[in-house]
Amino acid sequence: MAEVDFQALLRHFDREASRVAELAPLDPAAPLPSCPGWCVGTVVSHLAQVYEHKVACTELGRPPDPWPPTWPSGRDQVGWMVEAQARLRELLSRLGPDAPSWTWYPPDQTTGFWARRMAHETAVHRVDVEQALARTGPGGPAGPGAPATAEERPVPPELALDGIDEILRVMLAGDWSDEPGDGCRGQLVAVASAGRSWLVRLGADEVLVEAGGAGVEARLEGDPSDVLLWLWGRRGDQGLLPRPRPEALGLLRHRLELCTQ
């Protein structure tokens, strides 16, 4: 369950998507540091298709098949993203948070799941775009002293804290028995930010968020946006507290990379 009100999630969704639409035309070819092989234009097209997919999941009540369809060629990618986001936003707003919708997460088959997921999906990709454009100057990749095209903004604390909860409880959920050799054997990692804490148990077959536990092997703590972006692989260790057993944190990172590709 989201910890942010449904209407607030929709407002975050709007603001994050508007920021992407504002920045993307500045340099669609700028490469993304966090997504090798992707550029700003790739993110825009990806978001448009993600929004289209969630509209279809909700309207059909099942995953659309076949997917993806053949999209019209030559369309303006930013315009497509804006239009698809507006249709999804209108659909979610009209139906409210409790309407049925197919989702890939069995415990929550409602439109509220998509409102939460799309707010976070868009926020992380907004950061991708800002990071790409911050490295782009008038003559190409920015060097020392070169003006940045965009300044990276932190994810708002309310949204970031909910995003930490989502990635730990939802994205990591499920059966991990297909990864028997990754070294997870019940290590406990503490994640903390702004007075909130999560104890993540890295089991061989499952990842659990526990209410308490002894024997914490690693700790990740910092501002909400920094912690969230670390979990999504968009931030290094700068600004985060030292941890006693970095190898356990490395296992958490490995699991996160597998479930967020």
Domain assignment of residue 124, yes or no: yes
Q: What pLDDT is stored for residue 139 in this prediction?
A: 44
Residue-wise DSSP of the chain:
--SS-HHHHHHHHHHHHHHHHHHGGG-TTPBPTTSTT-BHHHHHHHHHHHHHHHHHHHHHSS--SS-S--PPTT--HHHHHHHHHHHHHHHHHHH-TTSB---S-TT--BHHHHHHHHHHHHHHHHHHHHHHHHTEETTEE--TTPPPS----PPPHHHHHHHHHHIIIIIT-S--TT-TTS--SSEEEEEEETTEEEEEEE-SS-EEEES--S-EEEEEES-HHHHHHHHTTS--STTSPP-S-HHHHHHHHHHHHHH--
Domain boundary among 153, 179, 196: 153
Residues 149-184: tens digit of each pLDDT: 688 999 999 999 999 999 999 999 999 988 767 899
- Considering the domain architecture, whether residues 50 and 113 belong to the same structural domain is answered as yes
- Considering the domain architecture, whether residues 143 and 43 belong to the same structural domain is answered as yes
- Considering the domain architecture, whether residues 110 and 76 belong to the same structural domain is answered as yes
Domain boundary among 153, 188, 216: 153
Domain assignment of residue 1, yes or no: no
User: What's the rounded mean pLDDT across residues 48-75?
Assistant: 95
Q: Which of 7-21, 129-143, 225-239 has the lowest mean pLDDT?
A: 129-143
What is the CATH classification number for the domain harbouring 193? 3.30.1050.10
Q: How many domains does the chain have?
A: 2
pLDDT exceeds 90 at position 56:
yes
pLDDT exceeds 60 at position 142:
no
Domain with 141, as residue range(s), is 6-153
- Considering the domain architecture, whether residues 251 and 214 belong to the same structural domain is answered as yes
The answer to whether the pTM exceeds 0.75 is yes
- Considering the domain architecture, whether residues 45 and 105 belong to the same structural domain is answered as yes
Q: What pLDDT is stored for residue 145 in this prediction?
A: 46
Domain assignment of residue 165, yes or no: no
